[in-house]
Amino acid sequence: MTAGFFALVGVFYFRTAFGLNAAGAGLALAAFFVPFAVLQYPAGLLSDRIGRAIPVIAGSVCYGLGIVAVGLAPALWLAVAAMVAVGALGALVAPATMAGYLAAFLVVGPSEVAIAIVAARAVWRLSEGPNPGRASARPAE
């Protein structure tokens, strides 16, 4: 769920908060995605040995706190370090969550619907109506 968050919001965050260009923002995002990808297999082996509960519960709590740390980081190097930690924590949580994949679908699907419903009014206001950026029906003069 938050890998998509970082892929979308992360670019804007790193470019706005730290003045990075597109390539720099991509490198900052790699600080999350590389450990997230590389550590999933060993984390999956760990969850096979110790069970799913500890990686999902403890990992999710730490993962959430790590996401907050990224957003509050006062310096780029701290934000990138937090991204590495969050990537590793995401790798801990992901395989254990996917091993109980039906439950994951039943949690994430309704969560997405709930987020859309709760945020709909604010999104509508921010977008200034139903068709922002739509070309005017009037011909150009």
Same domain for 28 and 73? yes
Same domain for 56 and 119? no
Same domain for 72 and 7? yes
Q: Who wins on pLDDT, 114 or 97?
A: 114
Q: Flag whether the pTM goes above 0.85.
A: no
The yes-or-no verdict on residue 20 having pLDDT over 60 is yes
Same domain for 27 and 79? yes
- Distance (Å, whole) CA 50 – CA 96: 10
pLDDT of 58-93, one tens digit each? 999 999 999 999 999 999 999 999 999 999 999 999
The alpha-helical segments, DSSP class H, found in the chain are 2-5, 11-18, 22-38, 40-50, 53-72, 76-99, 101-126
Rounded to an integer, the average pLDDT of 6-22 is 93
pLDDT band at 136 (very low <50, low <70, confident <90, very high): very low
Phi-psi region of 133 (alpha: psi -120 to 50; beta: other; left: phi over 0): left
Q: What are phi and psi of 51, to 5 degrees?
A: 100, 175
Q: Is residue 141 part of a domain?
A: no
> In this structure, are residues 100 and 44 in contact, taking their beta carbons and an 8 Å threshold?
no
Same domain for 34 and 62? yes
User: Looking at the 3D structure of the chain, how many domains does it have?
Assistant: 2
Q: Is residue 20 part of a domain?
A: yes
Same domain for 51 and 115? no
The yes-or-no verdict on residue 111 having pLDDT over 70 is yes
Q: Within a 13 Å sphere around the CA of 43, how many CA atoms are in the beta-carbon half?
A: 25
Same domain for 91 and 120? no
pLDDT of residue 1: 65
pLDDT band at 131 (very low <50, low <70, confident <90, very high): low
Q: How many CB atoms lie within 10 A of CB 85?
A: 19
Q: Is residue 51 part of a domain?
A: yes
pLDDT band at 132 (very low <50, low <70, confident <90, very high): low
Same domain for 15 and 84? yes
Residues 6+ apart with CB under 8 A from 76: 14, 18, 20, 28
Same domain for 85 and 105? no
Which range of residues forms the domain containing residue 120? 101-131
pLDDT of 44-66, one tens digit each? 999 999 999 999 999 999 999 99
